[in-house]
Structure 1
Amino acid sequence: MSSLVRDVLGSLREPEFWAYSTWLDIVTKYRRSRLGLVWLLIPPLIYVLGVGYYFAKLQGLSPLEFIPHLGVGYLLFRFLMTIITESSLVLPANSSFILDGHARLTDFVFRVVAKGLFYLSVAAPVLIVALLVSPRLELWGLAISLPALVVLILNAMWMGIAIALLGARFPDIHELMTSVFIFGFILTPILWSASAAPPGTVHGVFMRINPLYHLIELVRAPLLGESLETTTLFYVAGLTIVGLAMTAYLYRRYARFVPLWM
């Protein structure tokens, strides 16, 4: 894993390229708008509170209990979707840097990760308010949810690196990932509860083979005082180990070919 580890550590030691440039991209995008960066807060505000209230009433649930469930699920799903879908285009989009000799490809994937983290941070106040007024919030769950969030980010990073390599070789990967996430949103308990898909049912099986469900549930369940299935713990552990090993192999084997694919 020396090749991947070396580049990841190099990117972490030199965040000027990926962190600062991402911040500049976001600022320049909204600088002509009257509301500016406030626009980043409006979509999660409408979705978490508006859609959360609507679907809570639709299912006969208490909005104060359902909105945090939807809010955590939606924000984490959007974070994963942003990283994976945009990583499929990030290397071709930065081909000028790569062809000019910028060989550390992790810098470009880290730009996407930084963008996802920034959007997640901006939306966090909406979620914090929803959690504070909810009777489901378990403060002890923070001791589990915060390390679980680190595990989720780690998985998002290896997924982003792997998808970036595949996207550089196969341009259709972006369209495939977009379609997969449309289907994945339906299979992930965000607008509905995981209890609606019990083990042993067909829809329960489909939900439990979905990695997005397990990654989101690992963070959300302790925070809302829900018990984690043992399957989720083993699933995430296996996904992390196998995913890192696979990505390390792909990076060591194929990263040097990216300039040729460009």
Structure 2
Amino acid sequence: MKGRSLLGDYAESLRRPEFWIYSTWLELVTKYRRSRLGLFWVFLPPFLYAFVVGGFFARLQGYDIASFIPHMAIGYVLFRFVTVSLNESTTTCAHHAAFILDGRVRLTDYMLRVMAKAGFYLVFTIPVVALALWISPTFEPLGLVTLLPSMLLLLLNVGWMAAIVAIIGARLTDVYEFIGSIMMFGFLFTPIIWTAEQVPAGTFRGSVARANPLFHFVELVRAPILGESLEPFTIAYVIGLLVIGWLAAALVYRRYARFVPVWV
């Protein structure tokens, strides 16, 4: 494992997706096959958050329900994608200890398996988001043009984060609880049940909220779709985080990935 490259291993895993993408799909299919309602349980949480919780908070804050529901829907599904990816990355090496000890030491396979699972959940929520956008008076179809590059930036950022927490999680099992607590706390500082205009840039509350990466991940994807203005700082923040994060993740992976078979 000495001197393994994070970028090299990710590239090799992407060229050989048989393990991480097909096994993830098989896991989801077999999991919901045992349920009477099957994949309905995938659609239920985002539907409830978007239309029930979203409607409640719209009324509570005096927003138009038809405008707030898509805000809530997109914010929730993006937050869940990041949360699932990072939470499960903390334990992915331990869960695949048998594979690792058997010599399958390209750890990016296990990181991508977690991200693929979160990605499948995200794809399954498309009908819910589409329904929310259909009732939205602020939906901007041209904003969908930005969806591909913004989602790519989101995926790349989650990629380096997953690598770091997977390596640390292989050594310290408490990281799972720590990341879970951070993500729950981060939910309150992400514009999902509230809007970015409630915490203007330049104010103390605005500065605290904008220190949260999830704030920018959600706004980067959602704002153009809902016809909202995207702060230039958000674009700079996400790109800057991408560069710094990948440099840090590459160093961590090169230095510590070789110890993972011992730790698990």
Question: Fold conserved (TM > 0.5)?
Answer: yes
List 4+ stretches of structure 1 deviating above 3 A.
Answer: none
The percent of aligned pairs where both chains have the same amino acid is: 51
Cross-structure match for 1:209: 211
Alignment of 1:56-75 (within 5 A): 56-75=58-77
8 Å CA contact retained: 2:4, 2:257: no
Letter in 1 for 2:231: E
* 5+ long unaligned stretches in structure 1: none
Secondary structure, counterpart of 1:36 in structure 2: coil
Look up the equivalent residue of 1:86 and give its one-letter code. E
Once the two structures are TM-superposed, the CA of residue 213 in structure 1 deviates from its matched residue by 0.3
Partners of 2:7 and 2:188 lie apart in 1 by 35
| Structure 1 position 185 matched with structure 2 position 187 | yes
Partner Cα separation in structure 2 for residue 240 and residue 249 of structure 1? 14
Q: Which residue of 2 aligns with 1:257?
A: 259
Q: How does 1:111-126 map to 2 (within 5 A)?
A: 111-126=113-128
Normalising by structure 2, we get a TM-score of 0.96
Match of 2:201 in 1: 199
2:99 is aligned to 97
Report the Cα offset of residue 2 of structure 1. Answer: 7.2
Number of positions where the alignment pairs a residue of Structure 1 with one of Structure 2: 262
Which of 86, 89, 93 is equivalent to 1:87? 89
Can you list the C-alpha shifts for 1:114-160, whole angstroms capped at 9, x where unaligned?
A: 00000000011110111122111111111123210111011111111
- 1:199 and 1:88 mapped to 2: Cα distance? 33
Which has the larger displacement, 176-185 or 133-142? 133-142
The whole-number CA distance in structure 2 between the counterparts of 1:253 and 1:57 is 51
Tell me how large the CA RMSD over aligned residues is: 1.2
* Cα distance in 2 for residues equivalent to 1:235 and 1:243: 12
Give the TM-score taking structure 1 as reference length: 0.97
8 Å contact from structure 2 (residues 78, 218) kept in 1: yes
> How far apart are the structure 2 equivalents of 1:183 and 1:202?
18
Q: In 2, distance between residues paired with 1:113 and 1:50?
A: 28
CA contact (8 A) 2:9 2:106 kept: yes
Given candidates 171, 174, 178, the residue that maps to 2:173 is 171
* Corresponding residue number in structure 1 for 2:220: 218
Structure 2 unmatched ranges of 5 or more: none
In the alignment, what sits opposite 2:54? 52
- 1:106 is aligned to 108
The DSSP-based 3-state class of the residue aligned with 1:41 is helix
How far residue 75 of structure 1 moved from its aligned partner, in angstroms, is 0.5
Q: Which residue of 2 aligns with 1:229?
A: 231
Secondary structure in 1 matching 2:125: helix
